[in-house]
Copies of this chain bind each other. A is one copy, B any other.
Amino acid sequence: MRLSGGVEAALHCCVVLTAATEPVPAARLAELHGVSATYLAKHLQALSRAELVHSVQGKSGGYVLTRPPEEITTLDVVEAVEGPAPTFVCAEIRQRGPMAAPPEACTAPCAITRAMIAADRAWRAALREVSIADLGRSVAQDYESDVLGQIVGWLAPAEH
């Protein structure tokens, strides 16, 4: 079970956007991260569909966060990219074969499903605890320099 590579790119973009003061064009985010524009566009569109970012049109257009970064969790970003589907899907194997449990005994999920769902919830709860604002602060603490400020400086269009 492995998350797609898009999760890393999407989270890095969101963390950069926590510090941005102007809309950031998709092409600029792709260049910054050394990934192809097509690849990143797909993930930015997923973030947009999930209403975590939106695209401002026009000459100095680009992506902005739709709400304060304290209100966007790591889970929001992961689910935007991966979809909200649970990690474990029960195919009701207990209802197959010669000793199949009758349907009326299977109105509630089986013990195995319950254990798997509990673990899925623990994973999501851990991701929900960390906002992208938290991630931005941790990045700032990790480096001695104001790395997000420098990145935002690089992203900014030349002054007129």
Please report A residues at the B interface, Cβ cutoff 8 Å: 1-5, 7-9, 11-12, 15, 31-35, 74, 82, 85-91, 93-94, 96-101, 105, 108, 110-112, 114-116, 118-127, 130, 134-135, 138-139, 142-143, 147, 150-151, 154
Q: Which of B11, B126, B135 contacts A122 (CB 8 A)?
A: B126
Where chain A touches its partner, the secondary structure class is helix
Residue pair B32, A99 in contact (C-beta under 8 Å): yes
CB-CB nearest 6 A-B residue pairs: A34-B96, A111-B138, A34-B97, A123-B123, A119-B126, A122-B126
Copies of the polypeptide in the assembly: 2
Q: Which of B33, B85, B101 contacts A143 (CB 8 A)?
A: B101
Residue pair B98, A154 in contact (C-beta under 8 Å): yes
Q: How far is the CB of A154 from chain B (nearest CB, A)?
A: 5
Residue pair A112, B135 in contact (C-beta under 8 Å): yes
Residue pair A115, B99 in contact (C-beta under 8 Å): no
11 extra interchain contacts, Cβ-Cβ under 8 A, other than A34-B93, A115-B135? Answer: A1-B4, A2-B87, A3-B116, A8-B88, A8-B112, A12-B112, A35-B93, A115-B126, A115-B134, A118-B126, A122-B126
Residues from chain B with a CB closer than 8 A to the CB of A34 are 93, 96-98, 100
Please indicate which of the listed interface residues A8, A11, A15, A105 has the most CB atoms of chain B within 10 Å of its own CB.
A8
Taken together as a complex, chains A and B put the C-alpha atoms of A151 and B98 apart, in Å, by 9
Q: How far is the CB of A50 from chain B (nearest CB, A)?
A: 16
Residues from chain B with a CB closer than 8 A to the CB of A99 are 32, 150-151, 154
Residues from chain B with a CB closer than 8 A to the CB of A94 are 12
